[in-house]
Amino acid sequence: MQPNRRIVALAYDNLCSFEFGCAAEVFGLPRPELGPDWYSFEVCAAEPGPLRAMGGLRVHAEAGLEALAGAGTIVIPGWKGADVQPSDDLLAALRAAHASGARLVTICSGVFVLAAAGLLDGLRVTTHWRYAEKLQQRYPALTVDPNVLYVDTGQILTSAGSAAGLDLCLHLVRRDFGPKIANHVARRLVVAPHRDGGQAQFIERPVRDAPGSRLTHLLDELRQEVKTPPTVAQMAARAAMSERTFVRRFREATGAAPGEWLVTARLDRARELLEASSLSIEQVAVESGFGAAATLRHHFRSRLGLSPAAYKERFFAGA
Q: What is the pLDDT of residues 304-319, one digit of tens each?
A: 777 888 877 765 544 4
Contacting residues for 229 by C-beta, under 8 A, at least 6 apart: 222, 262, 289
Mean of pLDDT values over 55-65? 91
Percent of the chain with pLDDT over 90: 55
Contact (Cβ atoms closer than 8 angstroms) between residue 300 and residue 290: no
* Domains located in the chain, CATH noted: 6-189 (3.40.50.880), 205-319 (1.10.10.60)
Query: Is the model's pLDDT at 275 over the cut of 90?
Result: no
Q: Which pLDDT value is given to residue 203?
A: 40
* Residues 143-195: tens digit of each pLDDT: 998 888 889 998 999 999 888 899 899 999 988 998 888 888 988 887 766 66
Q: Is 295:270 a contact under the CB 8 Å cutoff?
A: no
**Of 37-46, 52-61, 252-261, minimum mean pLDDT range:** 252-261
Q: If you average pLDDT over every residue of the chain, what do you get?
A: 87
pLDDT at 209: 45
Where does the pLDDT of residue 105 fall: very low under 50, low under 70, confident under 90, or very high at 90 and above? very high
Ranges of H-type helices in 231-307: 232-238, 243-254, 258-276, 281-287, 293-304
Average pLDDT over residues 294-304: 87
pLDDT (0 to 100) of residue 200: 45
User: What mean pLDDT comes out for the span 242-266?
Assistant: 88
pLDDT in tens, 120-130: 999 999 999 88
Top-confidence residue, 206 or 243: 243
Comparing CA positions, the residue from 159, 282, 161 lying closest to residue 170 is: 159
Q: What is the DSSP letter of 197?
A: S
Is the confidence at residue 239, as pLDDT, over 80? Answer: yes
pLDDT of 201 over the 60 cut: no
Residue 304 CA to residue 308 CA, distance in Å, equals 9
Alpha helices in the chain (DSSP H): 17-23, 88-99, 111-116, 132-138, 164-177, 179-189, 200-203, 214-223, 232-238, 243-254, 258-276, 281-287, 293-304, 308-318
Per-residue pLDDT at 27 exceeds 70: yes
CA distance linking residue 88 with residue 78, whole number of Å: 18
DSSP letters along 8-32, please?
Answer: EEEE-TTB-HHHHHHHIIIIIS--G
Answer whether residue 212 shows pLDDT above 70.
no
pLDDT-derived band at 107 (thresholds 50, 70, 90) equals very high
pTM of the predicted structure, to 2 decimals: 0.67
d(CA 50, CA 52): 7
Average pLDDT of the segment spanning 275-300: 91
The answer on pLDDT for 79 being more than 90 is: yes
- Asked if 33 and 101 count as a contact pair (C-beta separation under 8 A), the reply is no
Q: What pLDDT sits at residue 255?
A: 75
Q: At what angle do helices 258-276 and 293-304 cross, to 10 degrees?
A: 100
How many whole angstroms separate alpha carbon 294 and alpha carbon 273? 17
**Does the structure show a pLDDT above 80 at 49?**
no
